[in-house]
Amino acid sequence: MAEKASGYRGVRRRPFLLLGTGCALFGLVLGIIIGYFAIPKRATPWSAALTREGDPSIAARLQREVTPDNIRENLRELTARPHIAGKEMDLGVAQLLRDRWLEYGFDSARLVPYDVLLAYPSRDPNRLSRVSLLESDGTVVVESQQQEAGADDPEAEPPFNAYSGSGEVQGDLVYVNFARAEDFQTLVRDLGVDVTGKVCIARYGKIFRGDKVNQAGQFGCAGLILYSDPEQCVAPGMAVWPDGWMMPSTGVQRGTVKGTNGDVLTPFYPANEYAYRLPEQDAGLPTIPVHPISYGVAVEILRNMAGPEAPLDWQGGLDITYHLGPGYTGPANSRTVRLVVNQDREVRTTYNVIGTIRGAVEPDRYVIVGNHHDAWVYGGVDPSSGTAVLLELARAMGKLKREGWRPRRTVVFGSWGAEEEGLIGSGEFVEDYIRSLQERTVAYLNCDAAAGGNFSLSVAASPLLHRMIREASKKVPDPHEPSKKLYDTWRMKRPEEEGNPDTRPKINKLGAGSDHAPFFQHAGIASSDMLSDIDPALGVTSYPLYHSAYETFDLQDRFIDPGWTVHQAVGRLWGEMAVTLADALVLPLDVRDYAAALQQMMDELRQEHGSRLSAQNIGLEHLESAIANFTRATTNFHQTVGSVDKSNPLTVRAVNDRLMKLEGAFIDPLGLPDRPWFRHVAFAPSSVNTYAGQSFPGLADALFDIDNAADQAARWEVVKKQLAVTTFTVQSAANTLVNNLF
Amino acid sequence: MAEKASGYRGVRRRPFLLLGTGCALFGLVLGIIIGYFAIPKRATPWSAALTREGDPSIAARLQREVTPDNIRENLRELTARPHIAGKEMDLGVAQLLRDRWLEYGFDSARLVPYDVLLAYPSRDPNRLSRVSLLESDGTVVVESQQQEAGADDPEAEPPFNAYSGSGEVQGDLVYVNFARAEDFQTLVRDLGVDVTGKVCIARYGKIFRGDKVNQAGQFGCAGLILYSDPEQCVAPGMAVWPDGWMMPSTGVQRGTVKGTNGDVLTPFYPANEYAYRLPEQDAGLPTIPVHPISYGVAVEILRNMAGPEAPLDWQGGLDITYHLGPGYTGPANSRTVRLVVNQDREVRTTYNVIGTIRGAVEPDRYVIVGNHHDAWVYGGVDPSSGTAVLLELARAMGKLKREGWRPRRTVVFGSWGAEEEGLIGSGEFVEDYIRSLQERTVAYLNCDAAAGGNFSLSVAASPLLHRMIREASKKVPDPHEPSKKLYDTWRMKRPEEEGNPDTRPKINKLGAGSDHAPFFQHAGIASSDMLSDIDPALGVTSYPLYHSAYETFDLQDRFIDPGWTVHQAVGRLWGEMAVTLADALVLPLDVRDYAAALQQMMDELRQEHGSRLSAQNIGLEHLESAIANFTRATTNFHQTVGSVDKSNPLTVRAVNDRLMKLEGAFIDPLGLPDRPWFRHVAFAPSSVNTYAGQSFPGLADALFDIDNAADQAARWEVVKKQLAVTTFTVQSAANTLVNNLF
């Protein structure tokens, strides 16, 4: 270049030089600017993915994939044969799920077996369980049947209450209404009816049947007959099965009466090959015989009873006047009732099915969706309507995955065995993997029956999930009015505040009615449960054919969800929730809602027990102060979440981990007094109704009916201790959100 | 520019254009290259820091900072006055620490108080605790003193055994050797000496004194006198204090006899203002009176005892023939021994001091270094030699921080109160913050007394920390031969394999002798404990002046560590360990050492109990299989750790979290049978000697002396259950290391 330039030596050299240098400089500066700013540096391979927000189009695509027809076909297949836990078809359904998930493209799907104590009614013709009304000479006036009319599938087990005591009792009958604690108190204390050694009869409803058996045992009943009263299972003027979806006189509700969760022989530990098993007599199972009957049989047994008329609100829906007993009156006065129960308890294998779609960025974080697969008979509602939806959700997610999507976090599908016997499959699973689940699980999203009715969505959840669930429901079309969103119909039909047009939908506290209980109340994992439910205005307890042999595909196809859009909506919502949790960069868990929930619980506690507590010089100021600290911590932490540097993956992870672990901070490893398996200090199933959620359960249990307690001084000590434990736990949970603890 | 350019129109225009374009292009390309490659993009602010390896020069600088002179001055200051827990100077020392740490530049330092049950000897002249040898007319032959000769500080408490029962017993004396379970068995079963209702005398040594009291209580002794036998506290031919560091005849070992850790009134929960406190009689404290005496008094009391000669190995170091009793012989035969103990138990405040140097990158991960600050008297060894080192370490770290260093993770300094009474300050702290500590703590590094002797380093630790500690010791000069490393002298003096010239140093199992116990055995946090110890060849139990008033600054300055290099070496090692854990990108915890430890424990179990178990048809194959699974999981995980993509901060964090949480996976929330506060399934203090570590403690406890157990059938059921629990826990821990669990 120097040679060439020599030709320009002299006058022209300077401008050339100037121009060249200028242009070169200009180019250089421009180049540097372009090179630095305009060309993205070949990113460190992970950087973009680690801090990328979830793709909002995924959930929308998932929603489009979930179709009514597929769900319908799934349910038809799932309900083809009875599939009670521990028997052939229970394994059959589990295998079907595993195979489908693999076919859909899951990264893994496998059966996880546990060997657990199950109970079945004896099929020996000489040992059949039954309830009989007898003349004094032994002639049978009426007797319960081994099958429900029109449902004579030999594969179906006769109606029974699993884990009842076995034996035969015969004697005078006493009517005990719902067999709640308050019913027995009224009966024994106020009405002076002796139930000791009597055959008692109670209607289903209001509380979990296992709690009825527990009360009956405590009050000394010799046996307990459970029946479905029309008041609880036939809405006035509505047709019974097969012409409608109300309970006919031949239908019987089955159900477990075991009071604990998980396998009874291996509490706290998984029921595997080397488990230490309690002797059966130490397992706390009911000892009195219990058996369920239809109202067609019950009406004959309740007719002509002696003793005072039952109180007005004890009168049920049968066309008789209910008397308390004991025994019969008039020409029937020598009649007795005989209750025979023979159940075989065996350790048998139940199978969970666990499938995964592994996370791309945080494979060690799990979002778990779960449903059980065992059914008392066909499971047309419980649980197979949920299973049908789970399968369709799995297919849809598998399709998205094959189209290139992979969630940020791992999505785990769980299909549990032996839920009906007492949350056994999920209970054992949680006990088995509790250390890893507590470390890795963002949330557990349960759906048991997807559609028990077509009235409205019904949800129970940890406060942490409330906002996320409400937001998800705003994205799902209503199954009946697709122009509206699920959120809109939900909040109108199940308002948080009655009469407020701007109300949010009500979200209930979690009880222990389904598989969320081990995750939430034992392991401290934020959980939710949901279904489409019936109109409470009908006045019936859950869907009327619950746990009968009439719970079939037809029930759904003809009455509950003929268009299958209710199932579709549940599936869409479930998918929205799962994808939101799996894909969000910052987890959409809202700690402020937890503070609000605690404050409300505090108000309720003060209202219900404040004066009783002050009379004992027990102040609530420390609990109040802990809740105030918790509220402050959540407010600050929520700001932290809102302002987190989303480009720093470690900070985001740290924030997410605290969100994820907050629920677990409410777990007290020592558990609740007298029921140590329940360890969540803020929420537990009610001790008097397992289905219902109870806030501050350690306190609530200790305070329950304390004014009438025999051991009041000891009970007040428990109250004081539980108040301290509750206060400490709330404060500890607050601390987990604080950066600089010391 | 266009105007100006017109002057060059014509011939010259083309070259100008070419040149200008060329230069501009050249500049542009060069610029782009420079802009893209040579100028580091203003890094996303975090990227470099998040994945940066720790700076290896930091630890070296820290070592240089730790000086003997500073430690000497610290100890002089700390030992100026007695500072027993709960009294004025205990708070004084705590305040001193807090103020120093703030002065050194810590990000925070504060006192954390707990209100706990403490015990002090009565100072009422009419209620003084004492042991007296009495003639039958009540004349005192010899009596224990309220002070040790030459140590008449009115601020010092008289010698006592904290939490002894109070009361007066008088009667025949029985000599029970070390009061171990086996001693009582020999005495009662083999030698036929009845101890029921007797005043028993035992020498200190072999096991924790609280376990002696427990055994004495179980065997029915009316009271227990503890004394320091010369065999355990005077090495042959060595001078006693003040001419040497052996125990003189006037010295008395104080010490707690409480068997549990933490405040006894608030087990499992912090002793705060709203804690529920057990009634004192339900707290499981000893009920029999216990009192310590010197061997100058003991020799008079043991002389002329009646009954058979004690077995050869029961003969101690006093110049008498030890007899078992009961009572006295010859002219002394009407003498009795009277034991009077009056202690005041009061709920008083003890203070922990917590200081932090916050982490730059992972402030939510803690490396905790800890030592207690309360002392029975001056604490010249226990604990203030450790406190003096802790202070110097704090100063050195503060200096580095002021020079620009900030650790990757937060370093927490903990100075615990009321350790001597039974790990009370640390126990309450762990109970108080357990949820956050379990989530955030990488390791707890304890040092109680830094220098009990100048022979060799002595370490006990979780297997996870073994490799890191050994590596750290390779970087610290030996205090006596600075050309060698601590590692070299340590491994020669405390070899893992005797006689192997290539041996590694031995690292012991953790017992419960100091503040690591709540972290390790209750919370499941990887922990270590260390000190410079005496030569075991001397045959004495720990350092001879242990817990006497002669434990002073002078003891260190004149005998144990006149050059203060032993203290310096402990401080340097401690600093190395802390900085390594705080700064390493990938945590230097080695899971393979855990597998090796479990395998060795399995071998020991098989050797010790294998045939006994087979005789009961109890197989070990499931535990073996779980350990094999654990070994496989650790091998795989170690490879994962080795090949982790260090440029991906999320992957590194996930790996670190699993390393950090492995220890916690060994925690069973239900705890060990009969001592539920100890929850580590792999390691616990021995039930018969709190100081020693016991592997598979649930099993070991159930199997202990089972052949002689009264309730053998029930004990074998416990064995079976604990075998299942141990197996499950090992398998669970393995699972936490597995990526794709399902």
Mean pLDDT of A574-591: 98
**Of A272-276, B36-40, B388-392, where does mean pLDDT reach its minimum?**
B36-40
Report yes or no: B722 and B699 within 8 Å, Cβ to Cβ.
Answer: yes
Q: Check whether A1 has a pLDDT greater than 50.
A: no
Instruction: Locate B358 and state its tokens.
Output: 């916050």
State the pLDDT at residue A38.
62
H helix and E strand count, chain A? 22, 17
Nearest to B384, CA basis, from B67, B99, B77, B89: B77
A364–chain B Cβ distance below 8 A for any pair: yes
Q: Check whether B36 has a pLDDT greater than 80.
A: no
Q: How far is CA B273 from CA A111, B283, B374, B437, in A?
A: 51, 19, 22, 21
Q: What does DSSP assign to residue A559?
A: I
Among the partner-chain residues B26, B358, B653, the one whose CB lies closest to the CB of A653 is B653
Convert A165-199 into a string of H (helix), E (strand) and C (coil).
ECEEEEECEEECCCCCHHHHHHHHHHCCCCCCCCE
Mean pLDDT of B142-153: 95
pLDDT in tens, A101-137: 999 999 999 999 999 999 999 999 999 999 999 999 9
Question: Between A and B, how many residue pairs show a Cβ–Cβ distance under 8 A?
Answer: 239
List the Cα angle A212/A217/A223 in 5-degree steps: 85
User: Which residue of chain A is at minimal alpha-carbon distance from B13?
Assistant: A16
Query: Using CA atoms, how far apart are residues B459 and A303, in angstroms rounded to an integer?
Result: 81
Q: Check whether A41 has a pLDDT greater than 60.
A: no
State the pLDDT at residue A43.
46
Among the partner-chain residues B26, B276, B432, the one whose CB lies closest to the CB of A24 is B26
Neighbours of A309 (CB within 10 A): 12
Buried b (16+ CB within 10 A) or exposed e, B449-486: bbbbbbbbbbbbbbbbbbbbbbebbebbbbbeeeeebb
Buried b (16+ CB within 10 A) or exposed e, A448-483: bbbbbbbbbbbbbbbbbbbbbbbebbebbbbbeeee
pLDDT in tens, A499-533: 999 999 999 999 988 999 999 999 999 999 999 99
Mean pLDDT of A266-270: 98
pLDDT in tens, A205-238: 999 999 999 999 999 999 999 999 999 999 999 9
Contact between B110 and A739 using a beta-carbon 8 Å cutoff: no
Residues, chain B: 742
Neighbours of B379 (CB within 10 A): 29
**B87 contacts: CB under 8 Å, gap ≥ 6:** none
In degrees rounded to 5, what are phi and psi of residue B217?
Answer: -65, -45
Contact between A36 and B39 using a beta-carbon 8 Å cutoff: yes
Q: Check whether A83 has a pLDDT greater than 70.
A: yes
Query: Using CA atoms, how far apart are residues A628 and A730, in angstroms rounded to an integer?
Result: 10
Residues of chain A in contact with residue B363, where contact means CB-CB under 8 angstroms, are 739-740
Share the mean pLDDT of chain B. Answer: 94
pLDDT in tens, B294-304: 999 999 999 99
A286 CB-side CA count, 13 A? 33
Its ipTM equals: 0.92
Q: Are strands B362-372 and B108-121 parallel, antiparallel or unpaired?
A: unpaired
Among the partner-chain residues B358, B649, B735, the one whose CB lies closest to the CB of A436 is B735
Among the partner-chain residues B15, B21, B47, the one whose CB lies closest to the CB of A47 is B47
Residues, chain A: 742
3-state helix, strand, coil in chain A (%, to 5): 40, 20, 40
Mean pLDDT of A446-450: 98
State the pLDDT at residue A32.
73
Among the partner-chain residues A269, A439, A654, the one whose CB lies closest to the CB of B736 is A439
State the pLDDT at residue A709.
85
Report yes or no: A738 and B433 within 8 Å, Cβ to Cβ.
Answer: no
State the pLDDT at residue B43.
46
Share the mean pLDDT of chain A. Answer: 94
Report yes or no: A284 and A260 within 8 Å, Cβ to Cβ.
Answer: yes
Residues of chain B in contact with residue A22, where contact means CB-CB under 8 angstroms, are 20, 23
Q: How far is CA A168 from CA A159, A272, A340, A341, B110, in A?
A: 17, 34, 4, 6, 69
B46–chain A Cβ distance below 8 A for any pair: yes
Q: Check whether A546 has a pLDDT greater than 90.
A: yes
State the pLDDT at residue A3.
41
B714–chain A Cβ distance below 8 A for any pair: no
pLDDT band of A143, cuts 50, 70, 90: very high
Report yes or no: B578 and B414 within 8 Å, Cβ to Cβ.
Answer: no
A358–chain B Cβ distance below 8 A for any pair: yes
Strand order in the sheet with A167-171: A140-143, A130-134, A336-341, A167-171
State the pLDDT at residue B410.
98
**B240 contacts: CB under 8 Å, gap ≥ 6:** B234, B246, B247, B248, B249
Q: Are strands A223-227 and A199-203 parallel, antiparallel or unpaired?
A: parallel
Query: Using CA atoms, how far apart are residues B458 and A39, in angstroms rounded to an integer?
Result: 58
pLDDT band of A8, cuts 50, 70, 90: very low
Interface of A with B in 244-303 (CB under 8 A): 268-270, 272-276
For testing contact with chain A, the best of B14, B112, B274 (most A CBs within 10 A): B274
Mean pLDDT of A489-502: 95
State the pLDDT at residue B15.
66
pLDDT in tens, B298-326: 999 999 999 999 999 999 999 999 999 99
Q: How far is CA A306 from CA A246, A303, A336, in A?
A: 30, 9, 12
pLDDT in tens, B185-195: 999 999 999 99
pLDDT in tens, A313-323: 999 999 999 99
Q: Check whether B37 has a pLDDT greater than 90.
A: no
Residue type, A502: D
Chain A: nearest CA to B24, how far in angstroms? 4
Contact between B648 and A412 using a beta-carbon 8 Å cutoff: no
Q: Check whether B389 has a pLDDT greater than 70.
A: yes
In degrees rounded to 5, what are phi and psi of residue A241?
Answer: -55, 140
DSSP secondary structure, B425-448, as one string: HHHHHHHHHHHHHHHHEEEEEE-S
Query: Using CA atoms, how far apart are residues A371 and A390, in angstroms rounded to an integer?
Result: 7
State the pLDDT at residue A37.
63
pLDDT in tens, B619-645: 999 999 999 999 999 999 999 999 999
Report yes or no: A460 and A507 within 8 Å, Cβ to Cβ.
Answer: yes
In degrees rounded to 5, what are phi and psi of residue B35?
Answer: -60, -40
CB-count burial class (<10 Å; 0-12, 13-18, 19+) for B170? middle
List the Cα angle B483/B489/B494 in 5-degree steps: 175
State the pLDDT at residue A318.
98
First vs last Cα of chain B: how many Å apart? 72
Interface of B with A in 76-135 (CB under 8 A): 107-108, 110, 112
Contact between A648 and B274 using a beta-carbon 8 Å cutoff: no
Convert B182-207 into a string of H (helix), E (strand) and C (coil).
HHHHHHHHHCCCCCCCCEEEEECECE
Among the partner-chain residues A412, A670, A742, the one whose CB lies closest to the CB of B108 is A742
What whole-number percentage of chain B has pLDDT above 90?
89
Which H or E run contains A130? Answer: strand A130-134
A287 CB-side CA count, 13 A? 11
Query: Using CA atoms, how far apart are residues B39 and B35, in angstroms rounded to an integer?
Result: 6
Query: Using CA atoms, how far apart are residues A224 and A175, in angstroms rounded to an integer?
Result: 10
Going through B145-231 in order, the beta strands assigned E by DSSP cover: 167-171, 173-175, 199-203, 223-227
